[in-house]
Amino acid sequence: MLFGKACIFGGRARYCVVKPLACLFTTSSNMAKSKFEYVRNFETDDTCLRNCYIVVRLDGRNFHKFTEQHKFAKPNDNRALGLMSRSARSVMEELEDIVIAYGQSDEFSFVFKRTSTWFKRRASKLMTHVASQFSSSYVFYWKEFFGEDQPLLYPPSFDGRVVLYPSNRNLKDYLSWRQADCHVNNLYNTVFWTLVQKGGLTTAQAEERLKGTLAADKNEILFSEFNINYNTEPAVLKKGTTLIWEKRDETVTKRMKLPNAEEKEVAVTRSRRRVQAHHCDVIGEQFWEEHPDILEDDNC
């Protein structure tokens, strides 16, 4: 529809035709049906196979430099480990189809239940959402763990990958692999930095000293030379952190109106699902027997 109005040109009034604003702009619905829509055909179909657990694993990118720049304690910085766990909990609270997450050092793995339909099971959507939520949470909660004494000098980044596991055995073996890696790395780092910090060796000398040593050899070095029993080290360092959903009873006080119109404070208990952290063995069967709701039936 066109509209007319009087316009002044050179001192004379003339009749002008004015188009409505709707005609001047292309709507999104028109864009969707434009001749350019064909470019969508270049998108790759990355839908994850059905009935598989979807694991999104994040790793800190160039974290060796990051830990040096931010003066992380060696071999382990409890502030950094706490921040990693808090960021992972933020991811789980945002994406409730994640049934379990496991983390150690600068990595965290998130397991989506095998029947999940989040983001239509598109791998790129799942991975980017997990990575962005984790990274932003890491920055957001930084001061909560590092305080004002150690400011965040530059943004951290995390790379990610998506892997599918078709059976409960495959998934349990994956998590066992990551926990075994945690033990191997932590034992090495504990001995390495003890040799440097307490033994007076340079990093090159400590590395040379540990070449070819087995776990028993490393334990012997710690105990015989520094009186350190590795078995008494905190579980979070040896076992990593496992996050799962658990129901917890919470009691809150509410003001309720009684039949006589009088108000009274009453304690109300509700059961809520919360993300809980465990620092325990996931390689054996005990953990899985105690939490049977994590895994789904292999016949689903």
Rounded to the nearest 10 degrees, the angle between the axes of helix 215-226 and helix 168-197 is 30
56 CB-contact burial (10 Å; exposed 0-12 / middle 13-18 / buried 19+):
buried
Say whether 299 counts as a known binding-site residue.
no
Say whether 59 counts as a known binding-site residue.
yes
CB 240 within 8 Å of CB 85: no
Q: Is the peptide bond before 75 cis (omega within 30 degrees of 0)?
A: yes
Structure-token match 């490393």, residue found: 218
Say whether 64 counts as a known binding-site residue.
yes
Say whether 57 counts as a known binding-site residue.
no
Say whether 298 counts as a known binding-site residue.
no
From the list 99, 90, 53, the residue with the least C-alpha distance to 245 is: 99
- Cα 162–chain centre separation: 13
Alpha carbons within 13 A on the beta-carbon side of 228? 17
Indicate the SS3 state at residue 255: strand
Say whether 291 counts as a known binding-site residue.
no
Measured distance CA(176)–CA(181) in Å, rounded: 8
For 234, list phi and psi in degrees, rounded to 5: -55, 140
CB 67 within 8 Å of CB 253: no
Q: What is the DSSP letter of 152?
A: -
Say whether 105 counts as a known binding-site residue.
yes
Say whether 106 counts as a known binding-site residue.
yes
Annotated binding site for GTP: 59-64, 105-106
Annotated binding site for Mg(2+): 59-60, 106
Annotated binding site: 59-64, 105-106
